[in-house]
Amino acid sequence: MRLFKTEKQKAVVPSRLKKMDTPSLYNWMESTIMGLGASFDKYRYHDKNKDELVEHIEALNAVWQELEERVGKG
């Protein structure tokens, strides 16, 4: 189920992600998801700046774009 009906915009995928092997990319995605949760908690409940949260969101999107390119839409 699609939440938003907009054209899919491709994130700019850094070259270091393109060079990374797929198992490492999965590991990085897992770490980024955990970091996203922690940074959201800091932003939401501890009045921290949103910059770290935005960085995690952008990183997660870039990693996901690269994994989708490699593995497909399954």
Asked if 42 and 54 touch (Cβ cutoff 8 Å), the reply is: no
Closest to 57 (Cα-Cα) out of 71, 73, 70, 40? 40
Confidence of residue 13 (pLDDT cuts 50, 70, 90): confident
| pTM for the whole structure | 0.80
List pLDDT tens digits, range 51-61.
Answer: 999 999 999 99
